[in-house]
Structure 1
């Protein structure tokens, strides 16, 4: 009996911290969540906005550096620069080719250099987000500077959206040529090779409709992002098996 108790304690210490991870999601229909890009060239400054932002982030507020992961997706077709013709050119095959590559995506794989490993109600935390950024069919490893603020649900927060909230603001630069995007010579003075990208969104852990043991996916192909997932032959030893993906 004592041996079984020690084994249970070991399993809890090994997996317990992940059991408190929360899935925060962003509704792409909420136009207040946005991504912005800025191209500041010698003869023209272009600012583009997209409200078609969708995100899912799995994070443990008690230790954000432990197995945080997720995905942030922005619809290219929703980018608006204030000039319809310019927007058409931006989405065209010559530029971002939105028909073939409809989204820009950031796959979050971890957090490091956090000013605090713990998210405290209402306190901003600065951190480096580690992951992969994909646009125009090309994916690159990147690190993004961001600040995160966690708010426990209250009457005040419910005025915005139900649930505990995670507010994220991030900013980074990309070089267009790194992603196979070439600037035509006729507009080289109107478009900067380096584009600044920023995102800001409010995510909630309410009504995610997700399995708390597989918040980033329930398909077998997505188990890698599930901290509780194990091989089928090992399910009996999985402390998260009671909430395993539904058949």
Structure 2
């Protein structure tokens, strides 16, 4: 009788050890979306002959952050810019930019993806402007490259509902993204264009 009990106990232990453990519950997060009326994207080309600036407010984006708003623990984001909507202030130049330069019929969007953010999350939680480094990728003209982008971000609360305001600036070297400058603007366009993104994202 004792022998059977030991065999039965051994069988139970074997079955338990071979059973898969239940999955760990996923950590909750907070989601934010870019507010349509509170964003701006500026493309700045400062060539020796001429300063060219292009503007658009056609930015869509979403952000996911740790439930405690600790971006060092969990953060991801994606932003999409409608390149065909860029306005340089001159209609003919806009046409050249779309058709010959950015080729927006084939590559309609610029995409910024962020997989990691590092910075002072405690100051951020207190509502102070914080300088962070956003690690991710930039896709323009069908080419995706890794980027580390310095960003200033501020947490604001209105009626206990949080929102994020942020501004980031980074260089885009045309050659790296296989963008050829059309002859009509060859001397007027810098080799490197600086992109500034400013937006407010609201908690949803």
TM-score range for the pair, normalised by the shorter chain length = 0.7 to 0.9
Call closer, same or farther: CA 1:97–1:201 in 2, change over 3 Å. Answer: same
Gaps of 5+ in 1: 1-6, 156-162, 207-247
Decide which structure has the larger Cα Rg and report it: 2
2:77 pairs with 1:79 = no
Note the alpha carbon deviations across 1:205-243, whole angstroms, 9 max, x for none: 13xxxxxxxxxxxxxxxxxxxxxxxxxxxxxxxxxxxxx
Judging by fraction of residues, say which structure has more strand.
2
SS at match of 2:201: strand
How far residue 118 of structure 1 moved from its aligned partner, in angstroms, is 5.8
Note the alpha carbon deviations across 1:39-87, whole angstroms, 9 max, x for none: 0001100011111000101112542112210101110111111001101
Show the 5 A alignment for 1:108-123. Answer: 108-112=114-118, 114-116=119-121, 119-123=124-128
How far residue 189 of structure 1 moved from its aligned partner, in angstroms, is 2.1
Considering only aligned residues, what root-mean-square deviation do their CA atoms show, in Å?
Answer: 2.2
SS at match of 2:79: strand
Q: TM-score, normalised by structure 1?
A: 0.68
Please list every run of at least 4 consecutive aligned residues from structure 1 whose deviation after the TM superposition is greater than 6 angstroms.
Answer: none
Q: TM-score, normalised by structure 2?
A: 0.82
Contact in 2 for aligned 1:41/1:191 (Cα 8 Å): yes
Note the alpha carbon deviations across 1:78-118, whole angstroms, 9 max, x for none: 111100110111110x2111111111010111112x13356
Partner residue in 2 for 1:4: none
Q: How many residues align?
A: 183
Partner residue in 1 for 2:74: 67
Q: Which has the higher contact order (CA 8 A, sep 6+)?
A: 2
Gaps of 5+ in 2: 1-20
Give the distance between the partners of 1:117 and 1:178, measured in 2 at CA: 37
